[in-house]
Amino acid sequence: MTAYSDRDIRRALATWGEDHSGNPAWLRIDPVDLEAIQPASVDLRLGSDFLRFPDRSQVVDLADRKVDMESVSVGRDAAYQLEPGGFVLGTTIERVHLGPKIVGKVEGKSSLGRIGLTAHVTAGFIDPGFDGQITLELFNASPNTILLRPGVFICQIAFFETAIAAERPYGSEGLGSRYQGQRGVQAIKK
């Protein structure tokens, strides 16, 4: 796989409006902030909706994937307080749609990592064909409370091009693509 530079990202974004059936190397970010394009990634902003565990007494069985989470929304000028050792699911404001030749990789921002905030625990890989907002697994590894404010740049997404287009992109019939088309923060699905 080849990583995309800022030039590649702009080119791929520009091909969205064209007939991209013959060009599998396209992507869409909505809304897109062209100032958020970095040398080899795009910064994404934090949404205002979160899911958290209501208490620490649950036993989560990976076989059935049942877990209770409660929804929390914060206002435009408010913040979610992520306590030390705290974990919450969040979402990006931006919707990302990848062509069948594009892989996305979500990473935290180094400036936020330096204060102990992780943007994803293990789910940073995004398959070709994915369409939706990105759910983030936000963890506070610091001894300090971190205020999560909607609209701040919370993570970055890098893009890679596969040698050939995916035969069955994410969302294809029969794949069981649980999170295709997701809007807002999404809990685990079976």
Known catalytic membership, residue 137: yes
Of 57, 114, 118, 110, nearest to 82 by C-alpha is: 118
Identify whether the C-beta of residue 52 lies closer than 8 Å to the C-beta of residue 70: yes
102 pairs with which residues across the strands? 161
- Rounded to the nearest angstrom, the gap between the alpha carbon of residue 44 and the centroid of all alpha carbons in its chain is 8
What is the spatial distance between Cα 20 and Cα 27, in angstroms, rounded to a whole number?
10
The tokens describing 130, both together, are 């994915």
Identify whether the C-beta of residue 95 lies closer than 8 Å to the C-beta of residue 47: no
Token pair 């699911």 is at which residue? 89
What is the spatial distance between Cα 148 and Cα 130, in angstroms, rounded to a whole number?
26
51 pairs with which residues across the strands? 71, 89
Q: 83, 94, 107, 137: which is the annotated catalytic residue? A: 137
Burial class from Cβ neighbours inside 10 Å (0-12, 13-18, 19+) for residue 54 reads exposed
* Catalytic residue set: 137
